[in-house]
């Protein structure tokens, strides 16, 4: 399966499930990798290069509009973590102050559209800023002054790293900038796989649930496993990993279940903002029975 970034605090449930043998216990042979470009995960899953992937929920309806048959089958991060982040000493006080400035984005296509919505709410347009793709280099780009702000990073990851390095990040979460509540990170698979093998989906999510519980109970052990992971950020220090975990553990989904109400509100909002062209039913994004396939198997 493909992550959408480095193995770390936000995907610690999967790291723990892998390293502690929970996927093996579920009868699953799971390999976890990091794509060269964060946006590649959806493509890998849609084209059968991977059976599962981690992505941000707004990407799912956009992918489906583009003909990619992916569905969300489980929740990893249960609330929005995307944010606009700048440094306190930058002179920026509000989003409106970013007029004429450079904003760094990870290479995730829909985030540019989302940025446009956030800027419009502040009285700006995309043409009034410079958008700079920075991939996995969001923190270095901001600290080195290559960009004046980053968008799409999160307070619990980039924000935690910046603070641990002595910077003073100013964080404006998207839910405070007019974006509705939604589940940030979700597990995706192909639509046909979800329909044909719901037992495997349930087993996968049960393993992730066990991994998440283990991380919550043993955060220091979780930090050690992240630190040793070949897919983790090679520049992250032990202190930064622990800071990210502390900020992220409260955000992790304990059940792995998707929330149809949150998703419905997000889909309606995305249609209103013209991020998608048509009204998308929740059942189409979640797969069969509106996401019921994520139910945890009995006895787990």
pLDDT score for 259: 95
Identify the segments of the chain with pLDDT beneath 50.
289-300
Sheet holding 169-173, edge to edge: 130-133, 102-105, 149-153, 83-87, 169-173
Q: What is the Cα–Cα distance from 50 to 30, expressed in whole angstroms?
A: 10
Q: What is the Cα–Cα distance from 204 to 213, expressed in whole angstroms?
A: 14
Q: From residue 118, how far is each of 60, 150, 153, 176 by CA, in Å?
A: 20, 13, 14, 10
The Cβ-side half-sphere exposure at 49, using a 13 Å CA radius, reads 14
Q: What is the dihedral of CA 200, 31, 184, 107, to 10 degrees?
A: -140
CB atoms inside a 10 Å sphere around CB 290:
16
Q: What is the Cα–Cα distance from 80 to 33, expressed in whole angstroms?
A: 23
Whether residue 223 contacts residue 249, with contact meaning beta carbons closer than 8 Å, is answered with no
Q: What is the Cα–Cα distance from 48 to 55, expressed in whole angstroms?
A: 16
> Burial level of 228, CB count in 10 A (0-12/13-18/19+)?
exposed
CB atoms inside a 10 Å sphere around CB 7:
22
Whether residue 193 contacts residue 49, with contact meaning beta carbons closer than 8 Å, is answered with no
pLDDT score for 278: 87
Q: What angle do CA 229, 233, 234 make, to 5 degrees?
A: 85
Q: What is the Cα–Cα distance from 75 to 56, expressed in whole angstroms?
A: 10
Tokens coding 298: 């009995």
């Amino acid at each position: 399966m493909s992550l959408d970034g480095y193995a770390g605090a936000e995907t610690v449930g999967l790291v723990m499930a892998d390293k502690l043998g929970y996927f093996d216990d579920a009868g699953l042979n799971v390999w976890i990798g990091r794509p060269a470009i964060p946006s590649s995960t959806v493509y890998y899953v849609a084209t059968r290069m991977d059976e599962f992937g981690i992505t941000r929920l707004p990407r799912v309806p956009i992918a489906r509009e583009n003909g990619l048959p992916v569905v969300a089958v489980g929740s990893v991060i249960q609330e929005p973590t995307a944010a606009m982040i700048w440094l306190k000493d930058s002179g920026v006080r509000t989003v409106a102050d970013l007029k004429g400035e450079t904003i760094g984005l990870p290479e995730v296509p829909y985030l540019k559209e989302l940025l446009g919505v956030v800027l419009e709410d502040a009285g700006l347009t995309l043409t009034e800023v410079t958008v700079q793709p920075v991939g996995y280099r969001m923190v270095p780009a901001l600290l080195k002054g290559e960009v004046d702000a980053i968008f799409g990073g999160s307070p619990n990851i980039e924000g935690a790293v910046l603070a641990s390095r002595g910077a003073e990040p100013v964080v404006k979460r998207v839910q405070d900038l007019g974006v509705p509540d939604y589940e940030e990170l979700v597990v995706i698979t192909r639509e046909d796989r979800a329909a044909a093998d719901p037992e495997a989906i349930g087993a996968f999510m049960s393993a992730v649930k066990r991994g998440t519980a283990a991380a919550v109970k043993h955060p220091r052990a979780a930090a050690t496993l992240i630190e040793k992971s070949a897919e983790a950020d090679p520049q992250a220090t032990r202190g930064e990993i622990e800071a990210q975990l502390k900020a992220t553990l409260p955000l992790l989904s304990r059940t792995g279940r998707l929330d149809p109400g949150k998703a419905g509100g997000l889909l309606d909002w995305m249609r209103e903002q013209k991020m998608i062209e048509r009204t998308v039913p929740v059942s189409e994004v979640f797969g069969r029975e509106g996401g019921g396939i994520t139910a945890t198997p009995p006895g787990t």
